[in-house]
Structure 1
Amino acid sequence: MSNAQALQCVRVRLTINLHPSRGTDALEGVRDQLSALLLRWNEGLQGVPLTFSEERIINSMAAIHSYFPFIQLEASASMLVFRPRLDMQLCGTVIRVGADYLGLHILGIFNAAIGREQIRDDLRYRPQEDKWQSRTESIHSISEGAQILFTVTGMQTDGGISSCSTCS
């Protein structure tokens, strides 16, 4: 089971404002700014950047703002972005089992939740075993550590932190 369809490599171009103390190594300052974007929802990228590479300063002549003392330059980088879309099927690892939900991790980083109303009708919660088990096929159950396929029904972001709404 793969989540590759939710990962995209994109080339981005950014305007970076560097503090003058970073002027001696502007590329390192660009890396710091790019690092600050990682693992937080980015509206412009419509996803969550996971890594960056091939970072470059595009212009060799940086501008200094007339109203505040920052060096403005253009930079580019390749970024791997997690971009789940509505109705996309993803795979998650169950990390929590409750009477009214399943908690999942996607790629070991992102949270997702499947509420009771989204869990298939033939599954019932068994509290003594902390799992959801099929009523028709007793061999079929969902417990911590299980990998399950689910469909993305929504995305929420709060303070740059994102999570998926799902259905099983």
Structure 2
Amino acid sequence: MEGLTVSDANLTVYIHPSMTNKVRGAILTQLSSLLFRYSEDLEGVLLAYQVNVRNKVARILPGLVPHFGVKLKATLLLFAPKPDMLIEGKVVKIGRESIHAIVLGFSSAAIMRGDIREEFKFQIEKGTETYICKSHKGHRIKVGSIIRFALKSMDEEILHISGSLMPPNTGCIHWLSKCGMEHDPHTKRCDPLSLSLSSLDVNI
């Protein structure tokens, strides 16, 4: 799936003096507070991390309540999709006017009828709402299907995605894989090592 990046970053995490005897725990607590939230500093949603303390000598920061900064070397897994990238989700609801899915278990996505290509026809089959491709009857989308769709936009505050099934290489992944249409060579892909972060200070 596009939009996932693995990045190396140099971080400085600020710890309260009361946590001097539990530094690692304090660091993990602060980084965990960033999980599944969009970060402007990281330019994406943090999904997972692995950290190593670079320097055991902390720098004291003066102030009303002094803190000390700990430098870290971290490997981050980020979800940072851009328009037109192909992403995947599990369908949780289907209606005549829309398809709703969950992406990576935390972000909701909606594909409205105007963004579903005309070859897909909505119908209720044996009591189940289904989108069936007119030209390929085996290509069906229903609740539980894993679909690939193009990203139109993402609301970074509530992590809601607006998607599209207009590109021909989108739809039910099971059918796409059987027909050899998993990827479109003309679609811009995201290099998982393309994001390099350095000297990034995290203030929580």
Specify the TM-score bucket, using the shorter chain as the normaliser.
Answer: 0.7 to 0.9
Report if aligned partners of 1:102, 1:115 keep a CA contact under 8 Å in 2: yes
> Once the 2 structures are TM-superposed, how far is the Cα of residue 91 of structure 1 from its aligned partner?
2.2
CA contact 2:51–2:72 (8 Å) conserved in 1: no
Residue in structure 1 matched with residue 4 of structure 2 by the alignment: 7
Contact 2:58 2:71 in 1 (8 A): no
Query: Aligned equivalents of 1:136 and 1:64: distance in 2?
Result: 66
Query: How much has 1:136 moved relative to structure 2?
Result: 4.1
Give, as a single letter, the amino acid of the residue that structure 2 aligns with 1:157. E
Q: In the alignment, does 2:12 pair up with 1:27?
A: no
Which residue of 78, 84, 87 corresponds with 2:84? 87
Which structure ranks higher in relative contact order (CA pairs < 8 Å, sequence separation ≥ 6)? 2
RMSD (Å) for aligned C-alpha atoms: 1.9
CA spacing shift, 1:135–1:44, aligned 2, 3 Å: same
Q: Residue 64 of structure 1 corresponds to which residue in structure 2?
A: 61
Query: What's the offset of the Cα at 1:139?
Result: 3.4
Which residue of the partner structure matches residue 143 of structure 2? 144
Structure 2 unmatched ranges of 5 or more: 166-204
> Which residue is equivalent to 1:155?
154
Q: Which residue identity lines up with residue 25 of structure 1 in the other structure?
A: K
1:93, distance to aligned residue in structure 2 (A): 1.7
Aligned residue pairs: how many? 163
CA distance in 2, matches of 1:131, 1:58: 56
- Equivalent of residue 123 in structure 2, options 126, 134, 150: 126
Structure in which a larger fraction of residues adopt strand:
1
TM (norm. structure 2) is: 0.72
- Structure 2 CA distance for partners of 1:141 and 1:74, relative to 1, 3 Å: same
Q: Determine what percentage of the aligned residue pairs are the same residue.
A: 26
Q: How far, CA to CA, are the matches of 2:82 and 2:54 in structure 1? A: 32
| Aligned residue among 79, 95, 106 for 1:98 | 95
> What runs of 5+ residues in structure 1 fail to find an aligned partner?
none
TM-score between both structures, scaled by the size of structure 1 = 0.85
